[in-house]
Each structure stands twice: as C-alpha cells, then as structure tokens.
Amino acid sequence: MKIDLLSPASFDGGQPHAQFDWLREHAPVYRHAEPDGPGFWAVTRYADVRSVGRDSATFSSEPTIMITDPTPESGFEFGDHKMMLMMDPPQHTEYRKLISREFTQAPAVAMTPWIDAFARDIVDAVIERGECDFVADIAGEMPSYVIARLMGLPLADGRKLYELTEIIHTAPEALPEGAQADAVRRMFEYGMGVIAEKRARPADDLASRLLHAEVDGKQLDDMDFLLFFLLLIDAGGDTTRNLVGAGMLALLEHPEQYALLKSDPERYLSAARDELLRWVSPVIYMRRTATRDTEIAGNPIAAGDKVVMYYGAANRDAEAFDRADGFDITRRPNRHLAFGGGTHICLGQHVARVEIDALLREVIARMPDLELAAEPEWLASNFISGPRTMPVRFRPGRRIATD
Ligand code: HEM
C-alpha cells in the first residue's frame, strides 16, 4: 500500500480510508517520511490516539500542532507569544480558564434560540432560488455569524474573517507565495481595530471580557488577545462548516439513513450528529512532540519526535466501534474522537453541536428534497477535511423570517 498522508491529493474526496485501514492493521505507529523535515509517527488506532492526546506531559503541543514547524513565511511565528492551542499545562490551563466557562454545555445550550434564528435566516437567504452552494451559502455562514456574535462584531465581518481562515487552512503549495502570511496579517489588522473599539466601548461580549482578563495578575497584552482572536475564528469556522458540508454529503450518499433521520428528526438528530462527527472527522490530525524517550504500543519514540494523531482513522477502528465502516445514525454509544481528547479537547464542542443541529433541522424541514446539482470539489488540505464547493438544488420555498 502506498502511504502518503502529506499530499492534499490523498484527501481529495474525503479521508484516505484505504490507507488508514492498512496502517491500523499493519503499522499502527508508522514512520512517515517528510520531504522537508525529519519525518513523523502516524498514529491510527483509537486506543493510541486517545492515550497520546491525554498525556500532555509526554506528548507536548509545543511548538505547534501542525506537522510542519512554523517558519517566518508561514506568518505563524509570534515571538514570545503562543496560541493556547500550542501551549502545555500549566500555562495552557491558565489561558483556557479565561474562557472555558463561556463554552460549557449550559451556556452553549442557552445560545440555541439565536443560533436557530441564524439557521432560519441562512435558509431564508436561498430558499426562493431553489439552488445554492451548500458549503458557502449554508454550512459556512453559520460559524462565521456565531463567532461574530459571540465576539460582538458585525455579522458581515464574521464572513470576511472566515474567508481569511480558509486561506490559513489551505495547503501552502496550493496558494500563491505569501498568501497565508498575508491572511494572518489581515486578521491581526482587523483584530487591532477590535481592541481599539472594545477598549473604548466595552460591551457584554467575549472580546471585551478577554481584553479585561488577567493571567497571573497581568492583563492580556495585545498579542495575547490577537492570538485568542485568531484561534477562536480559526478553530470554530471551517471545522463546523466542513462537518455540515461533508455530513450532508454523507446523508445524501446513504439515502436510507437520511430517510430515517427525516422521518423523526427530534428522535434521531442527536445520535445522527455524533455519527456525522465520527464519519467525517473534519479535523484530520493534531500533532504532538515527544518530550522524552517513550513508546507507543511497543514502538520506541525518541524525545523530539513528531507524533501525529489521525482522528479519522481512530474513528473507524473496529476495536472501538461495532461495524466501524458502517454509517449508522442510531449508533450509541459513540465515543468518537472528532473533538480530540485530553487537556485540549475542543473548547467549542457544545457550541458546534448546537450549530450543527440548528442547520440540519432547518435544512430537513425546509429542503427535504435537497440533492446534489454537481459533484462537490474538495478542499486542498491535509489538515481539514471537507468539500470546498457543493452545488445543490431543492424545491424553492417561501422565506419565513418576519423582519
Ligand atoms: C465540528 C466542529 C469542530 C471540530 C471537529 C473541532 C475539533 C477540534 C479538535 C480536534 C481540537 C483539539 C486540538 C488538540 O487536541 O490539539 C479542538 C480544539 C479547539 N476548538 Fe474545536 N472543533 C470544532 C468546532 C469548534 C468551535 C465551533 C469552536 C469555537 C466556537 C472551537 C474552538 C476550539 C478551541 C478554542 C480549541 C483549542 C482548545 C485548547 O487548546 O484548549 N471548535 N477542536
């Protein structure tokens, strides 16, 4: 079996399950070559992915969670400052504490009314046309509106920022030189405007609260704020979009499962949404770096080695899931790792669930006959999996919002 987990081509059309199946069976801790680097260990079994993710003392998130180390050209070097995603405890614990309360289940569930209203508006914007791009017009709108509202920004700005995120997550070789660094720079320029605005006129929003937050008795400085800002926009945007886009595609490809979901959405939605997360696993991987000589399932790992957890592979491991290759919207229990695990487990998972449910409910209710109008085109990325475009058609309907 030819193994190539670096080329975006391997992820064109979805995750490379034939490679993952082979790796789990024959080389679950596989030494993967890297043309411009030292190589990395690709970890594909559920139990190993889970235990690496939970052991941040041995498997560090520093210096980065991407396979490639940051370079000045990437725009991802920030001097002394780090993004929370790339910190280890105890520093990580201090930073995460600043916003973790706002993202627990109860506050996320309390967002349901306005997130549902966004879903209504998003479908309203296309329902009369009878056709749209499911990714840009439906799946992508929701996370950019939600993060804008949480941060206290105009909704249209959420959309612009989200376009920058997409550039940041695209494989550099698929972009003009310098495009990624430029996107980070533009994101920061916008973030500086937010700092000025929210310092002058603090409001009841996450951006204002972050600007007044303290770590070790010191207020966050501008760069700390910008990195939080970048992380929140980045982590919640195309992840959720890709889950909804690729998830809808999975439903269309399994019409009997989709029919079951449509037959009683309130009954099936919550298990179906978690099966979509397991099936799609929109975050392909997260990397760690070994802090000491160790082993994973008997394979020696040296201090400094890169260790990469493949969530999509873990989520199809027959040791962890009955009929792991079967798409089953009634699957319970479903302990998938799509949100990772351990200290960095997705902070936005409860919000993501509310967003996904709102969109699926609205689409099922108002576009029950939705179908593909052309083949989806996939994102050129080995990090985030999902369609870039997905033209669909449906019977036109009436707008329902009153304003
Ligand atoms: C389907 C949607 C989503 C998926 C699949 C997803 C996946 C993940 C994964 C795998 C991680 C773990 C990173 C690691 O272990 O190194 C993570 C972290 C994170 N996610 Fe999500 N995410 C989603 C949606 C969201 C949303 C909507 C938000 C915010 C509103 C968000 C915010 C974050 C943040 C801030 C972190 C970093 C947490 C930390 O470093 O402690 N995510 N996400």
For residue 352, the ligand 1 atom closest to its alpha carbon is 27
Q: Identify the H or E element spanning 307.
A: strand 306-310
Q: Enter the tokens of residue 361.
A: 């409910």
Separation CA 24–CA 317 (nearest Å): 8
Is ligand 1 within 6 A of the CB of residue 347? yes
Is ligand 1 within 6 A of the CB of residue 351? yes
**Residue 72 has what pLDDT?**
67
For residue 356, the ligand 1 atom closest to its alpha carbon is 1
CA of 1 to the centre of ligand 1 (A): 32
What single-letter DSSP state applies at residue 286? E
**Residue 75 has what pLDDT?**
63
Is ligand 1 within 6 A of the CB of residue 313? no
Alpha carbons within 13 A on the beta-carbon side of 221: 6
CB 351 within 8 A of CB 236: yes
**Residue 282 has what pLDDT?**
97
The residue type found at 94 is E
| Mean per-residue pLDDT pooled into runs of 10, the chain (403 residues) | 96 96 98 96 98 98 93 71 95 95 96 97 97 97 94 92 82 79 91 95 94 87 92 89 97 98 98 98 98 98 98 98 98 98 98 98 98 95 94 97 66
Is ligand 1 within 6 A of the CB of residue 65? yes
For residue 53, the ligand 1 atom closest to its alpha carbon is 15
Contacts of 292 (CB under 8 A, 6+ apart): 58, 303
CB 384 within 8 A of CB 238: yes
Q: Count of CB atoms within 10 A of residue 136's CB?
A: 18
**Residue 369 has what pLDDT?**
97
Q: Enter the tokens of residue 156.
A: 């249209």
Angle at 259 between CA 255 and CA 264, to 5 degrees: 155
Separation CA 92–CA 228 (nearest Å): 12
What single-letter DSSP state applies at residue 74? G
- Structural domains of the chain ordered from first start: 20-376+383-393 (1.10.630.10)
Q: Count of CB atoms within 10 A of residue 365's CB?
A: 14
Q: Which of 346, 350, 360, 385 to mutate to test the pocket of ligand 1 (most atoms within 8 A of CB)?
A: 346
Q: Which stretches within 178-237 are classed as H helix?
A: 179-200, 206-211, 222-236
Measured over the CA atoms of residue 79, residue 80, residue 84 and residue 86, the dihedral's sign is positive
What single-letter DSSP state applies at residue 328? -
The owner of tokens 């979009």 is: 241
**Residue 391 has what pLDDT?**
98
Q: Which of 149, 276, 347 to mutate to test the pocket of ligand 1 (most atoms within 8 A of CB)?
A: 347
Give me the long-range contacts of 183-186 (CB less than 8 A, separation at least 24).
Answer: 183/75, 184/75, 184/76, 184/230, 185/75
Determine which residue's CA is closest to atom 41 belonging to ligand 1: 344
pTM over 0.75: yes
Q: Enter the tokens of residue 230.
A: 């970048």
- Cross-strand partners of 288: 307
Alpha carbons within 13 A on the beta-carbon side of 113: 1
Instruction: Give the N- to C-terminal CA distance of the chain in Å, as an integer.
Output: 57
For residue 87, the ligand 1 atom closest to its alpha carbon is 40
Q: Enter the tokens of residue 245.
A: 């886009």
Determine which residue's CA is closest to atom 19 belonging to ligand 1: 346
